[in-house]
Structure formats: structure tokens, C-alpha cells
Amino acid sequence: MSSFDELKNRDIESLKRSYDQIAKSTSLGLSFYREEIARRENEEFNSKIKSMTSQMRNMTIFIMILTVINVGVVIYDVFKDV
């Protein structure tokens, strides 16, 4: 068994090869499927959050532009008769 630091420093492809090697002689339990389902649900959730974050950023930029335009219109309206 590798130490935690050795495991942490290995690249993903190396970990996948080791996993595939060990999986040949191991039977899968319910927890494996439960963890895989949870991982996929988390990936889907993270993807949705990223999309929402992008939409919020775009809306914020749009609102900022409208605010600047509004301030310009108000300043123009206030000083047009002066």
C-alpha cells in the first residue's frame, strides 16, 4: 500500500491504471454504486452552479450598464436647463 503522499502525488492516469488492475480481482459492493451515483449527482450540480454563476455575472454586467445609462440620463436631464 502506498503512503498518502505517494498516492497524492500520482497522476490521474496512473491511478486509473491501478484502479483497473485492482478492480479485476474485486467484487463491487453497494457502497461503490452509491458513491458513483453521488459523484455523478455532484458533477451535475456543480455544472448547474457554474452555469448559474455565469448567468448572474452577465445579469450583473447588464444591470451595471443600465445603471450607468440611467445616471447619464438623469445628469443630462438635471443640467439641460442650466
Q: Specify the pLDDT at position 1.
A: 53
Tens-digit pLDDT profile for the chain (82 aa)?
A: 568 888 889 899 999 998 888 888 888 888 988 999 999 999 999 999 999 999 999 999 999 999 999 999 999 999 998 7
Q: Domain residues for 15?
A: 4-79
Q: Specify the pLDDT at position 4.
A: 86
For 45, residues 6+ apart whose C-beta sits below 8 A from its C-beta are none
Q: DSSP letters along 23-77, please?
A: HTT----HHHHHHHHHHHHHHHHHHHHHHHHHHHHHHHHHHHHHHHHHHHHHHHH
Total of domains in the chain: 1
Q: Specify the pLDDT at position 39.
A: 95
